[in-house]
Structure 1
Amino acid sequence: MIGLWDTTGNEVVKALAAERRSAGGVASGMALTLIVVADEKHVREAEAAATIAAAAHPCRLLVVVRSDVERDRDRLDAEIVVGGRLGPCEAVVMRMYGRLALHAESVVMPLLVPDVPVVTWWHGEPPDEIATDFLGVVADRRITDAAQAANPIEALRLRAADYAPGDTDLSWTRITLWRTLVAGAFDTVQAQITEATLVAPRSDPTAALMSGWLTARLGIRPVWQEADQFQRMRSVELRSADGDQLVLTREDSTAIFQRTGQNDRQLPLVRRPLGEELAEELRRLDADQIYAEALAAMADTPGLQHRPDRRVHIWKDPATAHRAEAGISTHATTNKSGAGTSYNLSRGGGA
């Protein structure tokens, strides 16, 4: 491990190259570059999750921690780990202070592995518009987590408004097992499904996406029964035209599957750690059209999967916007929203 304090981007690049040479075979065969955007309070949690994901997908891990953007003096502290505590990957943890935090790309871009996909994951609340964050625009895949937002359902609606092919959300990943079990139940269903009911807290983003998925797949809008006594989705109930009823109910780490005229069955429904959820999303680097259809149905925003797969970077200075709201004079060349020059970038299908 190499620690560089109050350093520069060039020094980080040189130190990483030196550490790669000394590590030898540990630093070969990178499948992708994973950029993790986290705040200081959750950086260890983000590192732990990324370590699990890196064990399944050899990558260069770039952790970006941005703090105190209005600080007078810029500073960059970096920690370089190759084949160490962060698993079998090349890792650079960068803490950026002052105005440098608004230009993280100046340090990150030279560290991207050439000719491999780039994935950006926000461990925390992402920007309302991903185009205002260069680290999102440069990525082929962008992973958010609506559950981290103060209002998770509204956060999903923002994701729909801002959607471009390559986007996904970990709330979608968390219902993979639910969707597998529900889809498996249709192997023996002959009649058309006419009604569906979800039992879940009103603020549960996984239930919102499950509702969108059922709407997109079956053409019916599920009834949502509020169950605020539970912290997450409790059950899914389907009724067919011939009167059959199928119910899938969560019980700790299992699901009880009930069907009219059949004995109840217990099926696995384990809650996975964050790192395994992240690893699942790294298995595919193309656009997830099923997620796009589910998100579109959930947010009543049709045609998401047909949007262009190109993002244009829009520079937005939050410090300037804050001063404008406070009525402080500024000479910055930005408009009232803080947005200025846009940059058209091309990197794979996600830029």
Structure 2
Amino acid sequence: MHAIEQELQRLWRTAAEPVEGESQLPVLRACALNLVVYSADPGRISEIEAVIPQLIPEHPLRAIVMSVDESGGESRVDAWISAHCVQPVPEGKQICCEQIRLDVRGEPISGLSRLVVPILVPDVPVFLWWCGAPPLGSERLEDFLGIADRVIFDSTELENPSVDFPRLARLIVSREANSAFSDVVWIRLTFWRHVVARLFDSPLTRPSLSRLKRVVIGYAEERDAYAPSSQALLMAGWLASRLMWQPLKKLTFSPMQPEEARSELHLRSPGEHPTGARTVTIEFRALRFPSVPRGELVSLELDAEGTPATRFIVAQTGEPSWVESRVEWAGMNPIVQRIGRPETSLAQDVGSALELFGHDRVYEQAVKMAAAFLDEG
């Protein structure tokens, strides 16, 4: 690791030296955070390395990309160093950041985080971006959590939500004092959550929140469905945690074909009712929707009892960049709105996660509620 630091110093000395016959732009070396990227799939490294330069204008960082392939053979670690420079203002200074790539090959090595610690920039936060399914409960993940202030991951990569969401909830609780978590799925749900919340901004619709009796969450699925997707579970967890619903019975499910996969969950609501607490039903539906990536939400229906009965619908249209919201009252004309859905990229999702330094309590409560829905198998 000492050799890496020496090479970094040489790199910056070279960058600062003028080249004869060429105009030299001033170079500003900047670092506001460490981004440690772990991938056990070498095939994803090119995708990761394409994201990092896009992060630098908003998040100057030192990136340490670890590619791990423990398929056998002699254990070895190879390292490469490169710099990424951007010029935010014409004629201004170049902002340059480092990327260190570590390729770990051969037999499994315990305590891999010790390779990273000596090359972290001190006194700035450490973000751990785990590419692929995080091995919840494993020694490898625990090893890296020991150096991370925040962990970025994608819960769509979890192999079995019925087991993994309860594990994730326990991990969030156990790491409360040391690490916070950012889920790419939660970041992508921001649009849906905003659209749903706006449905109840009006004084005419707000009372319906305490009278909701049924929620139907539709998600895209192209193969046999075993459990609701991560997005569907997090949306249900968000609604239930915000409205203080509590599950009356664990959610159970079995493999079914799309269009047939329907799982129901019954919850207790503290809302106003002549007999006190009410029962709310959440139904998960797997739907064939080719224009939407597998697992993503395609529709949300919320039915409220009362006079008049009210239905709220948010649904993906045939165009991926548009959704339609609809409010229906019995005996009245519906209110329909077409809403543009901004396109996002992996770089934007990771960049959004880098903007958070503390705990996202709303996300954590949604995960804990989703975990409370589930049997652990």
Normalising by structure 2, we get a TM-score of 0.71
Aligned to 1:190: 206
Aligned to 2:36: 35
Is 1:18 aligned with 2:10? yes
Is 1:253 aligned with 2:321? yes
> Cα gap change, 1:152/1:15 in structure 2, threshold over 3 Å: closer, same or farther?
farther
> Equivalent of 2:155, from 130, 146, 153?
146
Partner amino acid for 1:295? V
Is 1:124 aligned with 2:126? no
Is 1:80 aligned with 2:81? yes
Contact 2:216-2:285 at 8 Å conserved across structures? no
Aligned to 2:282: 223
Partner amino acid for 2:84? G
Partner amino acid for 2:98? E
Is 1:158 aligned with 2:217? no
Deviation at 1:70, TM superposition (A): 4.6
How far apart, in 1, do the equivalents of 2:108 and 2:4 lie?
Answer: 15
> Cα gap change, 1:20/1:185 in structure 2, threshold over 3 Å: closer, same or farther?
farther
> Cα gap change, 1:81/1:75 in structure 2, threshold over 3 Å: closer, same or farther?
same
Is 1:181 aligned with 2:195? yes
Partner amino acid for 2:207? A
Deviation at 1:119, TM superposition (A): 0.5
How far apart, in 1, do the equivalents of 2:300 and 2:154 lie?
Answer: 22
Contact 2:34-2:63 at 8 Å conserved across structures? yes
How far apart, in 1, do the equivalents of 2:350 and 2:243 lie?
Answer: 28
Partner amino acid for 1:147? T
Aligned partner of residue 192 in structure 1, secondary structure: helix
Contact 1:234-1:249 at 8 Å conserved across structures? yes
Is 1:137 aligned with 2:146? yes
Deviation at 1:233, TM superposition (A): 1.4
Deviations 1:129-187 (A, max 9, x none): 26643222211001121212333453333211222330232121110111111112221
Deviation at 1:209, TM superposition (A): 0.4
Equivalence map 1:309-328=2 (5 Å): none
How far apart, in 1, do the equivalents of 2:52 and 2:163 lie?
Answer: 27
Deviations 1:186-244 (A, max 9, x none): 21123132132211244421111001000001134552232241332111112334422
Is 1:238 aligned with 2:315? no
Please state which structure has a larger fraction of its residues in helix: 1
Deviation at 1:88, TM superposition (A): 4.7
How far apart, in 2, do the equivalents of 1:181 and 1:26 lie?
Answer: 43
List structure 1 runs of 4+ shifted beyond 4 angstroms. Answer: 24-27
Contact 1:130-1:162 at 8 Å conserved across structures? no
> Cα gap change, 1:150/1:190 in structure 2, threshold over 3 Å: closer, same or farther?
closer
Deviation at 1:64, TM superposition (A): 0.5
Deviates more, 1:272-281 or 1:223-232: 223-232
> Cα gap change, 1:266/1:56 in structure 2, threshold over 3 Å: closer, same or farther?
same
> Cα gap change, 1:149/1:296 in structure 2, threshold over 3 Å: closer, same or farther?
closer
Aligned to 1:292: 364
How far apart, in 2, do the equivalents of 1:151 and 1:51 lie?
Answer: 33
Partner amino acid for 1:20? W
> Cα gap change, 1:185/1:175 in structure 2, threshold over 3 Å: closer, same or farther?
same
> Cα gap change, 1:109/1:123 in structure 2, threshold over 3 Å: closer, same or farther?
same
How far apart, in 2, do the equivalents of 1:18 and 1:153 lie?
Answer: 50
> Cα gap change, 1:135/1:296 in structure 2, threshold over 3 Å: closer, same or farther?
same
Contact 1:209-1:295 at 8 Å conserved across structures? yes
Deviation at 1:40, TM superposition (A): 0.4
> Equivalent of 2:349, from 277, 280, 302?
277
Normalising by structure 1, we get a TM-score of 0.76
> Cα gap change, 1:47/1:288 in structure 2, threshold over 3 Å: closer, same or farther?
same
Contact 2:30-2:96 at 8 Å conserved across structures? no
How far apart, in 2, do the equivalents of 1:268 and 1:157 lie?
Answer: 34
> Cα gap change, 1:178/1:131 in structure 2, threshold over 3 Å: closer, same or farther?
farther
How far apart, in 2, do the equivalents of 1:26 and 1:101 lie?
Answer: 38
Stretches of structure 2 lacking an aligned partner (at least 5 in a row): 17-25, 87-94, 222-226, 246-266, 268-280
